[in-house]
Every structure is written in C-alpha cells, then in structure tokens.
Amino acid sequence: MNKQNSHLFKIIFAGILVYGNSLNNLFVWDDIFVVITNDFIKGTGLLRELFLKPLFYFADPGYLYYRPLQGLSNVLDYSLWGINPLGFHITNVLLHIATATVIYFLLRTLFGDHELSFFTSLLFVVHPINSSVVNYVTSRADILVALFTASSLALFLSAHKNHTLYVVSLLCCICALLSKESAILIPVLLIFVNEMHLKLNNKKTGFHSNIVRSWYFAFLITCLAYLFVRTHILALKANLLPQDTIAFLTMAYTSLKMVFYYIGLIFFPVDLHMLRAIGISQMTLGRSISCILILIALALASLNLYRRNKIIFIAAGLFFICIAPHFSIAFRNPEYYCQQKAVMEEHWLYTAALGIIIPIFYIIKKYGRHSGTLSYRIIFSALILYFSTVTIMANTHWKNNYTLFTHTLRYVNYSATVYRNLGWIYINRNDNRKALEMYGKALALKQSDSQKKILYKDTAYAYFLNGESDKAIDLCRSALKLDFNYAEAHATLGLIYSKNDLSSAIEEWKIALDKDRFNTTAFNKLLALGASDGLLSQYLIERYKEALDQNKGFENYKAYSALGMVYLSGGRYPEALLFLEKARMINPYNVEINNALATLYAYINEYDLAIKFFRIALKLNPFHKQAYLNLSALYTHLGIDKEARRFLKKADHLNMYY
C-alpha cells in the first residue's frame, strides 16, 4: 500500500470508528420537518417542486432556505432506507468522510506537503466541533457545501494540466450554491486560494493570465445568476430582522469576540452544545478605539504572516472567508436579538475550522523540530485520541430529542426554543406539569411579539391538557391580542371551548380557517362535526372549492385533499374518490391523502386496496398514528385479531418526539 492509499485508509477508518455510535441515533428537531413530514423526498415524482420550493416548505413556506441538493440527497436516502434514521445517519457519516478525503487532496495540491495534508484531514474527520453537523441530518447542507467547495477548489488548482477541469470545478461551485447559501463567497475563496497557490509555487502567471481571469469571472457571474434566480424567479427573499439598529462597530466588535471564542472552541472543544449565543457588546468610546486597534493589529499581523509564513496566512484566510457569511446571520435571529445576543452556532465552523486545524498541526510539527519526530508524533496521536474520545461522547447527546434538549439546557438558559421543544417533549410524554414548567421559563424571557404569541398558544394547550381551561383561555386571548390573525390561537381556543360550548368552538374554528384555510386542527374538528351536520359539511365544501378557484399549481393538492375528506366523512364516496385521486395525482407522497384513500376503500369493501394504501401511508410516515389505528380497526373488522393488536400496540407506543 503506497503512502497516499495508506493515508486515505486511515482517514476513512478514523471517521467510521469515531461516528460508529451515532448510527443508532433518532431523528431530532428539524429532522422531523426535513425528513419525516417532507413529501418532496419520498419519491422522484416531485423533483421539479423540490427545486422550486424552499427546504422547509411543508413546515413553514416563509422559512426561505433554498437547498435542493440537500433535498435530493434525502430523496436518495429515502429510496434506499425509507424513513429509517439509520440510513440517513450512515449517509451523513459517509459524506463527512468524503469531505475529509477531498480536503486531503486539496491541501496536497495547494501545499505539496503529504504529511500536512494527512494530519490535517485526520484532525478534521475526528474533531468534536464537527459532531453537531454529522449527527444532525438537517445540517447535511454544511457537509455538502464543504464537500463541493473543497472539490471545486481542488479541481481549479489542478486545471492547468487539463482545462476541462475548470468546467467541472464550476459545476461543483453550482452544486455548492444549491446546497447552502453560504457558498456565495466561493469566488472570493477561489481567487484567494489560487493566487496564493501561484505565489507558493513562484509562478508568474495568475490573475493576469487571460485564461484564469476568464474563469474567475465565470464563477462570479454564476453566483450573481444564482442570486437573481433565487430572488426574482423563485421569489425566495430572506425575511430577516433588519440591522439598521446595530452600528457597524458594534457588529465588528461582537464579531471579533465571536472569532476568538470560535478559535478557542477548535483548540479546546469542551461543553459543546447547540444554540450557543454571545452578548452583543454595545459600543463605548473605549471599545470603539479597541475595536479599531484590534482591526489594525490583525491587518498588520496578516501582512507579516504573508511575508513570513504563507501557509498560516492561507489558513487564516480560509477561516475568515468561510466564517464571514455567518456574521450577518448572527445578528438577525429575533429570539436572541431581543436579549441583545448574537447567535454563535458551532455548525458554522464546519468548513471554517480547517483554517484553524492547519495551524494546530503546524505548531505541533514545529515543536517536533526541537524534540524529535517521535515526540511530535506522540503528541499528535494523543491529540487525535483525545478529540476522538470527545466526539464519541458528543454523539450520545444526539440520541433523541430529549437527550439533545436536556443537554443543551445545561448550558443555555436564554433560549425560548429550548424550553418550547422540551415543553412539547413532556406533553408527548404525558407530563403536563413539566411541560408547563418549561413554558413558564420560556415566557419569562424577553422576546418579540411574534415569538410570544406562539408561546402563549403552546402554554394554553398544556393548561388545557392539564384540565385548567380558564388559564388556557386567558393565554389564547393574550396571543390574539398580539395578533388576531394567528390561526393556531383561534384553533386552540376552539379546542378549549369544545368541552363546554360547542357553538363558540365552531365559531373559533371557522375564524381559524378564515386566517389559514389549511389549519389542521380547525379542519379536522369541523370535518368530524360535518359528518353529522350537513350545513357544516357544505360550508367546508364551498370553502375549498373557492380555494381551487383562487389557486393553481402544486398548492391545489391541499384543496383537492380537503374536499375528498369532506365528501368521505359525509358518505359521498364517488365524489370523495374523484377529489382524493386528483390530490394524489399532484402529490402522491402525502400521508393524509393515502390514509384517506385507504379509509375510503375500506368503506366500500375494497379491503385489499384499503390495506395497500394504509401500508403506503405508513411507509411515507411510520409515525402517523391515525393510519395505525385505522389499519388496526380494519383488521379487527376482518377478524384478523393478531394483526389488529399488533398495529394497535404500535399506535399506543408511537412517539417521534422522544
């Protein structure tokens, strides 16, 4: 085995060894929306929509992350594994290892140093700072953008031997842009790395070479075209908190603090957790002067590095260019902005960490010149062992939602997101007291009205489950004072009223549908009542026929599905079949549509078709409780008691939120 193959084998083996215990982890947090309830990934029939819609379309269409390649990778995972977290975690680990191997080739091409390339890539593959990205399926975008960015750079540096590689490099750039928005700075990174590569090799050609110059512009034009398509054709414009209240020096000073914290985390990766934040430092005259002096010092240090040590200079440039896109986002999160905090996520370091890992190796190797090769190899091996151990331990925090958020709570007492998620977890564990405790702590935090209304609604629901209807009603009304158009608050208020005042409940559910015609709670409650109330059923039919007249395209599957369910509940089976089939033609991967079709076929005694569609529904979403209950009822009707009990047991023990 030659040196290169030996290096690659060790990198791959280390990645598998370190992340082997992550493969049994479940889906957590936004994985539920990106994987479990995401219809786009459950077949190839909706690939066009996957490339036209944002990542969180089925959870919140206003959450404008445009990452179609991440969705495409999930399509592949689903085709191989279904909704099995094991397969998705295997893919994340393999992609992480692939990224480390591409980094190996990139660094070897850039620096011409096999040892630096190997040890840096090995450190990268086992470093604990990357554990959040590898363990969190939703963070796959960070791996993909790193993989394609490193590939683009490596190919570009090698393209002087084969100009075709410029085209492949550009294609990798496009793939990076379609993986995550931070790839927008690839042209800056590419120009910086290529120019430094030319300097390292004492080549006189570079930016002034006509061929290289033309490809620089090709990358710039590609990124501008991406921005144009995103904002003008797909209409995916970021809806973020304005920054006009934050002075530039305030942002600069806080960002500098973040840089030092980030560097510290890479050198000393302890107490790793999600939702990390840092206080926004309001500027005083002293801090303003300090900020300016630090920036001047950094500029002078960079100039000195450029002259004395171009390897460390390149590493520093990699770090700052890769981390730069995230500084703006850090000040735009309303949850933390209200508390004068900036977001400081560890997964933003995935690519940028490389710029600090290179100097770590360089420092150890320089020490080895004085202490001997064996000494520095022992130090490096000890560092690899330490980082690997910390990573293996960090993987256990991602086992499920409960372990993730209870671990995060040990370090984060300023995030309503942590408390809200724990509240929902406790509700699903039937521990309403603990849920109310979590919601109470969330409400005690300073936050925007848009966040507060959601917390009021969630807390109201917890009080409702706890039998405290008066408190629940007061909280719903508080939410509606902040935003009367908040459909979820009307729907929850209807739920509370339904115990003693059905007419008021119906009125609230109708208002909820006025504000959001596809509000799930309001629709399902009115649908159930409409089965015995012709006027209510007709109200729903008119509402969704009106929706069909107003909307065109993919969105119509929702209206067709709603109409089909209304007709089904009213026993009008031919009309139900017509509209449900129309809905399924548009979106064949929606669990509700397939569950409704299965129920319809059961009603008309087409039992084989009913079982078929129930099983399709459960393949699309193995956490769909109603499908299990319906299938259990069907098997009971058919006298197949063993199967009926099996599916009833699954329904009773089902919980995707643990």
Biggest alpha carbon distance in the chain? 89
Instruction: Select the more confidently predicted residue: 162 or 210.
Output: 162
Within 8 A by CB and 6+ apart from 481, the residues are: none
29: left (phi over 0), alpha (psi -120 to 50) or beta: left
- 56 pLDDT above the threshold of 70: yes
- 246-286 pLDDT tens trace: 677 777 778 888 888 898 899 889 889 988 888 887 767 67
Q: Please give the pLDDT value at position 206.
A: 46
Mean pLDDT, to the nearest integer, of 83-89? 94
Residues 652 and 646: their CA atoms lie apart, in Å, by 10
- 550 pLDDT above the threshold of 90: no
Measured in whole angstroms, how far is the alpha carbon of residue 439 from the centre of its chain?
24
Structure-block tokens of residue 193: 């790395």
Mean pLDDT, to the nearest integer, of 389-412? 94
- 240 pLDDT above the threshold of 80: no
- H or E element in which residue 496 lies: helix 487-497
**pLDDT confidence tier of residue 105, bands split at 50, 70 and 90:** very high
Q: Taking all residues of the chain, what is their mean pLDDT, rounded to a whole number?
A: 87
Lowest mean pLDDT among 84-93, 307-316, 393-402: 307-316
Nearest residue to 525 (alpha-carbon basis) of 504, 549, 498, 544: 498
Q: Please give the pLDDT value at position 239.
A: 47
Backbone φ, ψ for residue 332 (5° rounding):
-110, 5
Residues 134 and 25: their CA atoms lie apart, in Å, by 11
Quick count: other Cβ atoms within 10 Å of Cβ 92? 24
Residues 92 and 138: their CA atoms lie apart, in Å, by 10
- 585-631 pLDDT tens trace: 999 999 999 999 999 999 999 999 999 999 999 999 998 888 899 88
- 657 pLDDT above the threshold of 70: no
Q: Please give the pLDDT value at position 243.
A: 47
Q: Please give the pLDDT value at position 102.
A: 95
pLDDT above 90 as % of the chain: 51
| Burial of residue 259 (number of CB atoms within 10 Å: 0-12, 13-18, 19+) | middle
**pLDDT confidence tier of residue 233, bands split at 50, 70 and 90:** confident
Q: Please give the pLDDT value at position 509.
A: 92
Q: Please give the pLDDT value at position 62.
A: 64
- 161-199 pLDDT tens trace: 788 889 999 999 999 999 998 899 999 999 998 888 878
Residues 47 and 554: their CA atoms lie apart, in Å, by 12
- 480-491 pLDDT tens trace: 999 999 999 999
Mean pLDDT, to the nearest integer, of 572-580? 93
> Reduced to 3 states, what is the DSSP secondary structure of residue 447?
coil
Helix 469-482 and helix 449-465, axial crossing angle in degrees, nearest 10:
160
Q: Please give the pLDDT value at position 448.
A: 84
- 441-480 pLDDT tens trace: 999 988 888 889 999 999 999 999 998 999 999 999 999 9
- 491-527 pLDDT tens trace: 999 999 988 889 999 999 999 999 998 999 999 999 9
- 301 pLDDT above the threshold of 90: no
Q: Please give the pLDDT value at position 241.
A: 43
Structure-block tokens of residue 416: 């309503």
- 55 pLDDT above the threshold of 60: yes
Which amino acid type is present at position 378?
I
Structure-block tokens of residue 507: 């009125």
Q: Please give the pLDDT value at position 245.
A: 61
Residues 75 and 158: their CA atoms lie apart, in Å, by 32
- 362-380 pLDDT tens trace: 777 776 666 556 677 788 8
Structure-block tokens of residue 457: 């609604």
- 18-30 pLDDT tens trace: 999 999 999 999 9
**pLDDT confidence tier of residue 388, bands split at 50, 70 and 90:** very high
Asked whether the beta carbons of 88 and 23 are under 8 A apart, the reply is: no
Q: Please give the pLDDT value at position 242.
A: 44
Residues 655 and 657: their CA atoms lie apart, in Å, by 5
- 97 pLDDT above the threshold of 50: yes
- 552 pLDDT above the threshold of 90: no
Per DSSP, 448 falls in state: -
* pTM of this structure: 0.92
